Structure 1
Amino acid sequence: MKISDIDICNLPPLMGMFVDYLEAECGRLLEESPQFMQLIREDHELLDEYDFLNMITDSNGITKALKLNYEETEALARFCLVEADINCWKQLQMYLLGMAHAMEAIELLKLK
């Protein structure tokens, strides 16, 4: 089983609270990174400048064919790269946070 196979909507309440805590802590730590915040700013600037990006990220998805010019195609490519970078940062931070908690648990077990 992979971590991506876990449906967090069906976790027991205590485990759900732990996941919420981890996500909040991960977000707090990432907000301290100037590089990550630059990616977030760039993401928002692209969304503000190009309306079709909002249509793509909307929960309804793309409802009509897109006819993009060169500039819009470049913006879409940049947006995809920025989104991928943001997700990589989040995944890495979550991994590091999980490893820190695992190491704390190991140290507590050594004490007993």
Structure 2
Amino acid sequence: MKISDFDIYHLPPLMGMFVDYLEDECERLLQESPQFTELQREDHELMDEYPFLNMITDSNGITKALDLNYAETEALAKFCLVEEDINCWKRLQMYLLGIAHAMGIIELLKLD
């Protein structure tokens, strides 16, 4: 099996477990970041204050037209920015974790 045979949707069971481990490890590391936890707090506050945001993030999607007032439109814009920041932090943490693992593998492969 070649690396090109893998994709995120068709992983062998052991590799799928490793991806789950990586996601959990990234989440654990992110929870240690005050900036990240502040973004999560802000995200949850917006969702609590503006229930229509839950409908947007629901896996069923939007099931009816939204008629938003100015404050709700501002909240939606803020929510999108916060969500993007959260996702950026997650991608960066996954990248850094990947680098750490790659460096470990390189160390193991070094020949003296």
**What TM-score does the superposition give when structure 1 sets the normalisation length?**
0.91
Unpaired stretches in structure 2, ≥5 consecutive residues: 1-5
Task: Describe how 1:47-86 pairs up with structure 2 within 5 A.
Answer: 47-86=47-86
Task: Describe how 1:30-109 pairs up with structure 2 within 5 A.
Answer: 30-109=30-109
Query: Which structure dedicates a bigger proportion of its chain to helix?
Result: 1
Secondary structure of the corresponding residue to residue 76 of structure 2: helix
Distance in 1 (alpha carbons) for counterparts of 2:8 and 2:29 = 24
Amino acid of the residue matched to residue 110 of structure 1? K
Deviations 1:52-71 (A, max 9, x none): 10111111111111111110
Aligned to 1:6: 7
Instruction: Point out 4+ residue stretches in structure 1 off by more than 3 angstroms.
Output: none
Root-mean-square deviation (CA, aligned residues, Å) is: 1.4
Q: Work out whether 1:26 is the aligned partner of 2:26.
A: yes
C-alpha deviation, 1:104, in angstroms: 0.5
Deviations 1:26-57 (A, max 9, x none): 00100000000000000111111101101111
**What TM-score does the superposition give when structure 2 sets the normalisation length?**
0.91
C-alpha deviation, 1:111, in angstroms: 4.2
Distance in 2 (alpha carbons) for counterparts of 1:34 and 1:111 = 40
Distance in 1 (alpha carbons) for counterparts of 2:7 and 2:47 = 30
